[in-house]
């Protein structure tokens, strides 16, 4: 059975609207724990902010892995993309929720890809 606002008291509708709004805003929050910059051979800088969000990923074989890391990357066009830590054969790997963006960091080296195409490849830049 579907409910419409005509079946619910105005106070309940208002409370539900506030809950939905606050839950949506929670996804926009990003508390930066630290920041890094990477530089490539063309002297372009990639800004990376590191945060924490615990999430569990279940693999195809049923194994569940829990991760706490996430990053927010500022793209060349000014947009920011949030990626979440995931399984990596080596280094640390992050994927966006839609799986389009991938960021891999290993020692001082990093690579940012969109749909498997490298967008940025560089090394840690001490500023």
Q: Please, what are the domains in the chain? A: 30-124 (2.40.128.200)
Sign of dihedral through CA atoms 77, 112, 50, 100?
positive
pLDDT value for 44: 94
Give the pLDDT means over successive 10-residue stretches in the chain (127 positions): 50 50 51 94 95 91 93 93 93 95 96 97 91
Residue 91 near residue 105 (C-beta atoms within 8 A): yes
Tokens linked to 44: 């372009």
Give the C-alpha separation, 122 to 112, whole Å. Answer: 9
Task: Give the pLDDT confidence score for residue 120 in this predicted structure.
Answer: 97
Q: What is the pLDDT of residue 79?
A: 93
Q: Alpha helix locations (H) across 1-127?
A: 10-26
- Look up residue 79 and give its DSSP letter: -
pLDDT at 26: 39
Q: What is the pLDDT of residue 126?
A: 87
Per-residue model confidence (pLDDT) at position 122: 97
């Amino acid at each position: 059975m579907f409910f419409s606002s005509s079946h619910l008291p105005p106070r309940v509708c208002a409370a539900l609207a506030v809950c939905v709004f606050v839950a949506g805003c929670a996804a926009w929050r990003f508390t930066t724990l630290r920041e890094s910059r990477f530089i490539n051979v063309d002297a372009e800088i990639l800004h990376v902010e590191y945060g924490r969000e615990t999430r569990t990923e279940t693999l195809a074989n049923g194994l569940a892995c829990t991760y706490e890391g996430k990053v927010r990357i500022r793209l060349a066009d000014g947009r920011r993309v949030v990626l979440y830590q995931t399984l990596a054969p080596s280094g640390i790997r992050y994927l966006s929720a839609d799986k389009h963006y991938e960021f891999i960091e290993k020692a001082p080296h990093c690579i940012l890809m969109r749909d498997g195409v490298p967008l940025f490849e560089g090394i840690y830049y001490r500023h």
